[in-house]
Chains A and B, each alone.
Chain A
Amino acid sequence: MDNKSDDYSKVEEDLLRPITQTGRDFYVTVAILLAIISVGVFAWIIQLREGLGVTGLNRPIFWGFYITNFVFFIGISHAGTLISAILRLANAEWRRAITRSAEVITVLVLFFGVLNIINDLGRPDRLLYTIFHGEFRSPLLWDVVSISIYFICSSIYLFLPLIPDIALMRDKFKGTRKGKIYRILALGWKGTEKQWKILGRAISLMAVLVIPIAVSVHTVVSYVFAMTIQPMWHSTIFGPYFVTGAIFSGIAALLIAMVIIRKSCHLQAYLKPVHFNNLGLLLLVMSLLWFYFTFTENLTSFYGAEPSHLAVFYAKLTGQYAPYFWVMVFLCFILPVAVLSNRKTRTISGIFLVSCGVIVGMWLERYTIVLPTLINPRLPIERGTYTPTWVELAITAACFAAFILLYILFVKAFPIVSIWEIKEGKEVGVEETAERVKSYLPDTVFEKKSGGLGANEINSPSKRENDHE
């Protein structure tokens, strides 16, 4: 018994350390991020004063960086909630250490997706017209609706599993100013049996609810393009294609976050190689799926050989946007498959490298969807090219910096690895899994077989742990 409570206080200590202790690195990082953000804010003020003339947009290239960012950020948001909900529903025990870091990505990054589309408006002051005068036949309004619902649901879904941990911190920081805030946020959590039951049910309900909403969000984002009549936007494949790309880039973002958290918060004992291995394999599957969609989409346009489609197709594959396109293919397909399909290279550092590549590659994917179509209007009118100005670059950089900053602040305020879920895993998870595995097997013959079978097998890559560099 004593041993067990020692174990738990170790878990608490480990997971609360990022909150209680702040190193110099933290302040340096925050200062750098704030500097980038302030340049972005300055650029944004200029844009608000002058109008979109300060960007590189023109006619017919009416959309550029901001819309690319919008699609990209909304895509990243699929990491979290969707992955965590699926893993929770599938009762995947290895989820316990990673769900929260995934859910936080969703909530924070959605905000920047929305920010980018507001930023893209010529009249951001009229934003609320989309509510007062909303025309529901426009796909943009479908976006407004589904992203709002997604934001609300994924915030609830992030908050619910936080409650027991907040209560824990309320008790830890009793009497301090921090403690007061935690007391409010804990919503009177006492950990009674009834409360646990309600919480469990609420989490499962939200997990079920959030999956179709997440799928709908990126489908609707793709509809913004697919519902138009423009060549290579008007495509039936766009819904699932965008959802696949979203999950793909989302997993990559999650992996990057996990690597950084693991190192900076010294959570090597919690975010183990097995977590990276499993997510890495998922990333590999998504990479293959993504390539399948990309291939199908482009082959269809090429084989159909409609002149207006071919113009866009060649702009991508051999023309102005070819460098972006082929870098994208390399980063989203060749590199991930090469690294992740080999057990020797599927290490934490290998996965980190691939994930960074996928993030860049998926941004380029959004870029090569938006631009080549716009640059090739159907009629032979004069056409310009698009080069982003420093304003667009600064605002984009600021969005990334602000996202990272908010993420760091979250890690400083709440345990990024769910404490109660880890405890629960130790307490009941192991036994439950053993029971479950037993129930899969014939009743008599294998009765004596060890319970942790599944877990041990998955754990084997831990022998190859080599992230000490």
Chain B
Amino acid sequence: MRKWGMVIDLDRCTGCQACVVACKAENNVVFSDPTQEETHRAISWMSVLTVLEGEYPDVKESYIPRPCMHCENPPCVKVCPVGATYKNPEGIVAQVYTRCIGCRYCTNNCPYTLKYFNYYRPRWSNEMKNLLNPDVSKRQVGVVEKCSFCHHRLQKAKEDARFEKRELREEDYVPACVQTCPTGALIFGDLQNPKSEVHRLSKISRAFRLLEELGTEPQVFYLTEGEWHG
């Protein structure tokens, strides 16, 4: 069984936010208006955290793109009262929108605050309505949603492989953010395959994970020179 994971090279990230836009378009993430931004209700499965260090003019700015960490021990999964979020055998933490009752217990127990709640009914402009991705279901008001590692792409890749009567290749499946990243800061693959790039990078000395001390075992690794000060 494969275990999908991501490596994010912070030293390569320019903070261009292309991954954020690609993710929104790919996953039918609803657009937010300025008031929603102001009230902190915007949804963005991939979000780039900007960390400023020092005072002007001696400033260091660093960017941390954050998709769902797809933890090995996901705190969000065990508190869900209806099993609307679960860890699938391939390592992806999935969310079932039609099952979610919107209690927001999972959002509160996510130490990374990477789950999002639909405070509003999704509204799309007429132009956008024709551009929605048919592979991804739209979310209703009142449910929690989050990054799925573009799980629909995995399903599609599997179907293609079956159609062509061959095994699924690792490179067949890549999430939208990884595909878009212009500097190659995002790398995706099978963490259990010893020959894969993500496996190799996750073991190097530059690698670390967010809030490692909590024991959640994120499947998203970060690379940086020196220590990260978040």
Contact = CB atoms under 8 A, between A and B. Distances in A.
B126 interface: no
A51 B120 contact: yes
Given A62-B108, A121-B142, A123-B143, A51 B121 contact: yes
Contact of B39 (A58, A127, A134, A381): A58
A194 interface: no
Interface stretch (B75-83, B129-137, B175-183, B190-198): B75-83
A144 interface: yes
Interface residues of A, number: 43
A59 B40 contact: yes
Interface string A219-263: 000001001111000000000000000000000000000000000
B119 A57 contact: yes
Contacts of B41: 53, 58-59
A140 B105 contact: yes
A130 B144 CA distance: 16
Contacts of A62: 104, 107-108, 117
B99 interface: yes
A63 interface: yes
Contacts, number: 135
B102 A134 contact: no
Interface string A46-83: 00001111000111111100000000000000000000
Contacts of B107: 59-60, 62
B109 A51 contact: no
Contact of B117 (A59, A117, A130, A144): A59
B142 A123 contact: yes
A117 B105 CA distance: 12
A378 B49 CA distance: 13
A140 B84 CA distance: 13
A122 interface: yes
Nearest to A61: B40
Which one of A63, A224, A379 has the highest number of Cβ atoms from chain B below 10 Å of its Cβ? A379
B118 A138 contact: no
Interface string A380-400: 111110000000000000000
A138 B55 CA distance: 45
A144 B75 CA distance: 20
A135 B87 CA distance: 14
Given A58-B41, A133-B83, A379-B230, A122 B113 contact: no
A371 B99 CA distance: 27
A374 interface: yes
Interface string B43-85: 0000101010000000000000000000000010011111100
A129 interface: yes
A58 B109 CA distance: 15
Interface string B97-113: 00111111101110111
Contact of B142 (A51, A230, A383): A51
B141 interface: yes
Contacts of B116: 59
B118 to A, nearest CB: 7
Interface residues of B, number: 41
A139 interface: yes
Q: For B49, B105, B211, which residue has the most chain A Cβ atoms within 10 angstroms?
A: B105
B81 A134 contact: yes
A311 to B, nearest CB: 13
Given A59-B116, A384-B40, A135 B82 contact: yes
B79 A138 contact: yes
Given A374-B108, A379-B49, A122 B80 contact: no
Contacts of B103: 117, 120-122, 140
A141 interface: yes
A139 B40 CA distance: 27
B25 to A, nearest CB: 21
Contact of A138 (B80, B111, B113, B140): B80
B81 A135 contact: yes
Contact of B99 (A52, A58, A129): A129
A60 B82 contact: no
B66 to A, nearest CB: 8
A126 interface: yes
Nearest to A382: B40
Interface string A109-122: 00000000100111
A448 interface: no
Given A62-B104, A122-B104, A379 B82 contact: no
Given A59-B116, A122-B102, A227-B79, 12 more contacts: A51-B141, A53-B41, A53-B141, A59-B107, A61-B40, A122-B103, A140-B103, A228-B75, A229-B214, A374-B108, A379-B112, A383-B40
In the A-B complex, the 5 residue pairs with the smallest Cβ-Cβ separation, listed nearest first, are A122-B102, A122-B142, A384-B40, A53-B119, A51-B141
25 contacts: A50-B141, A51-B118, A52-B102, A53-B120, A58-B39, A61-B40, A121-B101, A122-B100, A122-B144, A123-B100, A123-B101, A126-B82, A126-B100, A129-B82, A133-B83, A133-B99, A134-B82, A135-B82, A138-B79, A138-B81, A140-B81, A144-B81, A230-B108, A230-B109, A384-B39
